């Protein structure tokens, strides 16, 4: 298999730099917060051109409520964040002719911001849904991160297109006990436990002209964004499909159609692109299952739990697959 499939995903340091500022605005010492959240794991400085390990992020967001003693810390960080552009995607949003063009650019270049993004723009009837899923291996949607991001994106959209009331907000994480801060800051009561994290906007607002539109600048920024996107090794197709499988395996359906939808293409296009790179969805799916099974068995997990974590509903198909992979039966607790 192409080694490119094993390259870890990364994200830009943009959000981390905004988080440093927001933590300070709330009266916290950002350096101390990060030191405690990562418990000795070394972190590079959040430099302008820096890329960071995508799968390190959950450590920060999971530790944050306890460190700050604030169960709504994600919302409060989003409340004080200043949505100034700090990367090419932010500047594209401002230079776009209208909100639709800006959001299309956001979706097109989302992986410059984070390799784990699975964002897309859906227009149905009088509504537009901006899906903002961020995925991590072995971790569900992070409540504090997504609530912070929802507020930040709302501010960014307002900067580009003026006041923008939300029709709704959807989150994948379960509902917290108290929703007063959600209603105060988002202007609506979110729906929790949904299939996607999403902002729901009036579709008509997408045609609203941007107050800072600049067609020439948008063209220059698009060329720069294309250059940056092409330079991300982990953005290549095999890596993206493999990572998607690792995040969904055992948690959600993992069909070719589901993967194509998540990556913003159709089934035929994904199949054809994988074939051009000497691979297939079935081959990648099989390989991700095999590696997960071996790792979990090595960790001492029971065979039934391993089968379930690898997306097998029953044991017999798992045993057959394991014999094909390894030439024998899995050794572990029943």
DSSP 233: G
Residue with tokens 């911001």, as numbered in its chain: 113
Q: Domain check: are 50 and 172 in the same one? A: yes
pLDDT at 47: 58
Distance separating alpha carbons of residues 106 and 119, to the nearest angstrom = 8
Q: Domain check: are 171 and 93 in the same one? A: yes
Report, as an integer, the average pLDDT of 92-105: 94
Whole-angstrom CA distances from 48 to 11, 14, 86, 301 are 12, 7, 8, 42
Give tens-digit pLDDT for 17-70: 899 999 999 999 999 999 999 986 766 666 556 788 888 899 999 999 999 999
Has residue 125 been placed in a domain? yes
Domain with 50, as residue range(s), is 3-207
Burial of 227 (0-12, 13-18, 19+ CB in 10 A): exposed
Q: Domain check: are 261 and 196 in the same one? A: no
Has residue 203 been placed in a domain? yes
Has residue 109 been placed in a domain? yes
Q: Domain check: are 49 and 138 in the same one? A: yes
Report, as an integer, the average pLDDT of 89-93: 93
Per the structure, the count of domains in the chain is 2
Give tens-digit pLDDT for 273-302: 899 888 999 999 999 999 899 989 988 899
Boundary of a domain, candidates 182, 207, 232: 207
Q: Among candidates 151, 136, 259, 132, which has minimal Cα distance to 195?
A: 132
Q: Domain check: are 202 and 254 in the same one? A: no
Boundary of a domain, candidates 183, 207, 231: 207
Has residue 98 been placed in a domain? yes
Give tens-digit pLDDT for 99-136: 999 999 999 999 899 888 889 999 999 999 999 999 88
Q: Domain check: are 253 and 201 in the same one? A: no
Q: Are 70 and 31 in contact (CB under 8 A)?
A: no
Q: How many CB atoms lie within 10 A of CB 300?
A: 8
Q: Domain check: are 281 and 188 in the same one? A: no
Q: Domain check: are 199 and 264 in the same one? A: no
CA dihedral 206, 211, 212, 218 (to 10 degrees): 20
Boundary of a domain, candidates 207, 239, 269: 207
H/E run at residue 170: strand 168-170
Share of the chain above pLDDT 90, in %: 60
Report, as an integer, the average pLDDT of 194-198: 93
Report, as an integer, the average pLDDT of 183-204: 95
Has residue 223 been placed in a domain? no
Has residue 235 been placed in a domain? no
Has residue 214 been placed in a domain? no
pLDDT at 26: 97
Q: Domain check: are 116 and 195 in the same one? A: yes
Has residue 320 been placed in a domain? yes
Q: Among candidates 132, 115, 121, which has minimal Cα distance to 246?
A: 115
Domain containing residue 167: CATH number: 3.90.1520
pLDDT at 334: 47
Residue 280 pairs in a beta bridge with none
């Amino acid at each position: 298999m192409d080694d490119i499939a094993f390259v870890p995903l990364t994200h830009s340091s943009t959000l981390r730099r905004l988080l440093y500022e927001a933590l300070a605005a709330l009266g916290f010492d950002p350096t101390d917060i990060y030191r405690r959240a990562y418990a000795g794991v070394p972190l590079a400085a959040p430099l302008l051109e820096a890329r960071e390990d995508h799968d390190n992020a959950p450590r920060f967001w999971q530790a944050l409520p306890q460190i700050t003693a604030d169960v709504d810390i994600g919302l409060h960080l989003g409340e004080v964040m200043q949505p100034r552009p700090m990367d090419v995607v932010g500047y594209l949003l401002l230079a776009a002719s209208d909100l639709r063009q800006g959001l299309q650019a956001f979706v097109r270049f989302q992986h410059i911001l984070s390799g784990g993004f699975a964002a897309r723009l859906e227009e149905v009837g009088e509504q537009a849904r901006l899906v903002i899923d961020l995925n991590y291996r072995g971790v569900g949607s992070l409540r504090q991160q997504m609530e912070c991001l929802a507020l930040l994106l709302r501010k960014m959209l307002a900067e580009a297109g003026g006041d923008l009331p939300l029709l709704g907000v959807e989150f994948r994480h379960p509902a917290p006990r108290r929703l007063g801060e959600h209603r105060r800051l988002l202007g609506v009561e979110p729906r929790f436990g949904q299939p996607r994290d999403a902002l729901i906007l009036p579709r008509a607002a997408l045609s609203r002209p941007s107050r800072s539109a600049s067609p020439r600048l948008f063209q220059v920024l698009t060329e720069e964004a294309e250059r940056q996107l092409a330079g991300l090794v982990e953005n290549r197709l095999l890596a993206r499909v493999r990572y998607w499988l690792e995040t969904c395996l055992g948690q959600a359906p993992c069909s070719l159609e589901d993967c194509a939808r998540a990556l913003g293409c159709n089934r035929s296009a994904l199949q054809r692109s994988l074939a051009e790179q000497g691979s297939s969805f079935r081959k990648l799916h099989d390989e991700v299952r095999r590696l997960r099974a071996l790792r979990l068995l090595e960790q001492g997990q029971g065979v039934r739990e391993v089968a379930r974590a690898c997306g097998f509903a029953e044991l017999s198909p798992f045993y057959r697959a394991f014999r094909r992979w390894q030439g024998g039966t899995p050794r572990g607790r029943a």
